[in-house]
Amino acid sequence: MTFDAQSPLSVQEQLYPDLPCFGCGQGNLEGLRLRSYPSEAGVSATFRPWPQHDNGLGYLNGGIISTVLDCHSAAAVMLEADRLGWPALPGAPLAYVTAGLNVRYLRPSPLHEDVDLIAVVTAASEAEMVAEVELLWDGKVRATATALWKRWYPR
């Protein structure tokens, strides 16, 4: 499947519509179903936390933050792989998989308001890609991540 920039569908809906991933899988009706879109800044998304994502202090849970940063970086990486003509290999549902995620929590993130996500691929080879991701609210970066993605070679 190839990404169509004219379509209103997200990267996830176009490139891996049946994936059951909790964070970005459109095939997981109980998951977050994150939707990311190409933008001038890279790849962008808006995420609305659920009340169940409370960290116990009235803010967005760190594990959910990590999940959306990881899954949003996936959209940037899969879109870049699509642009470069590096599709998923036979037997693999995705072209790349997360090999590392370095998250930094900078400020509390709201639990009851939308947060914005921006991801940019900063290094790309057929063997691996690196994406930088930010979670923002109220004009301030709340969390960042560097995501390392490796080519998925099914066994």
pLDDT digits (tens, 9 = 90+) for 86-123: 999 999 999 999 999 999 999 999 999 999 999 999 99
Neighbours of 139 (CB within 10 A): 6
Fold topology of 11-151 = Thiol Ester Dehydrase; Chain A (3.10.129)
pTM of the complete model beyond 0.85? yes
Model pLDDT for residues 117-148, shown as the tens digit of each residue: 999 999 999 999 999 999 999 999 999 999 99
Beta bridge partners of 104: 144
* pLDDT tens digit sequence for 26-83: 999 999 999 999 999 999 999 999 999 999 999 999 999 999 999 999 999 999 999 9
Q: How far is CA 126 from CA 2, 88, 120, 130, 144, in A?
A: 17, 11, 17, 11, 24
Do 55 and 63 meet the contact criterion of CB atoms below 8 Å apart?
A: no
Rounded distance, CA 16 to CA 35, Å? 11
Is the CB of residue 87 less than 8 Å from the CB of residue 38? no
Q: Are 24 and 75 in contact (CB under 8 A)?
A: yes
Do the bridges between strand 42-47 and strand 115-124 make them parallel or antiparallel, or are there none, so unpaired?
Answer: antiparallel
Around Cβ 33, how many Cβ atoms within 10 Å? 19
> Domains of the chain: which residue ranges?
11-151
Give the contacts of 119 (CB within 8 A, at least 6 positions apart). Answer: 36, 42, 43, 44, 72, 73, 75, 76, 131, 132, 133, 134
